[in-house]
């Protein structure tokens, strides 16, 4: 894949992710749209392959953090809130199991 294609794919992926993460929150949808666009605009004239690779890595890391770490909270009452987790932030609750036999080698 060409570098321009990778940049465009990351740009689109970040925007798709923000639309899922901040669904129904117009303020955060707009703020995240502006921030993504601003960050890409700041670096649009970058020519160093190393710097471009670094920026792509940062962008990909940000997408993962957004997708896996943000849980939307909706205030339903003055003292109540509703969590709206997505499947990406829900992890299986697997209990720790030490499979060692306890024998020393």
The predicted structure's pLDDT at residue 100: 62
**Predicted confidence (pLDDT) per residue in 44-67, tens digit:** 999 999 999 999 999 999 999 998
Ranges of each domain in the chain: 3-84
Which letter, b or e, does each residue of 57-88 get, where b requires 16 or more Cβ atoms within 10 Å of its Cβ?
eebeebbeebbeebebeeeeeeeeeeeeeeee
- Cα–Cα distance measured from residue 33 to residue 12, given in angstroms and rounded to the nearest whole number: 11
Segment 37-45 mean pLDDT: 95
The predicted structure's pLDDT at residue 15: 97
User: For the residues of 32-61, what is the DSSP string, one character each?
Assistant: HHHHHHHHHHHTTT---HHHHHHHHHHHHH
Q: Indicate the pTM of the whole model.
A: 0.76
The predicted structure's pLDDT at residue 97: 62
More confident residue, 96 or 27: 27
């Amino acid at each position: 894949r060409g570098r321009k294609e990778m940049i465009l794919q990351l740009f689109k992926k970040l925007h798709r992710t923000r639309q899922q993460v901040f669904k129904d929150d117009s303020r955060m949808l707009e703020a995240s749209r502006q921030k993504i666009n601003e960050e890409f605009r700041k670096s649009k004239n970058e020519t160093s392959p190393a710097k471009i690779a670094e920026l792509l890595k940062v962008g990909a890391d940000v997408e993962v953090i957004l997708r896996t770490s943000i849980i939307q909270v909706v205030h339903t009452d003055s003292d109540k809130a509703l969590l709206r987790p997505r499947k990406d932030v829900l992890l299986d609750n697997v209990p720790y199991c030490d499979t060692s036999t306890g024998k020393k080698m």
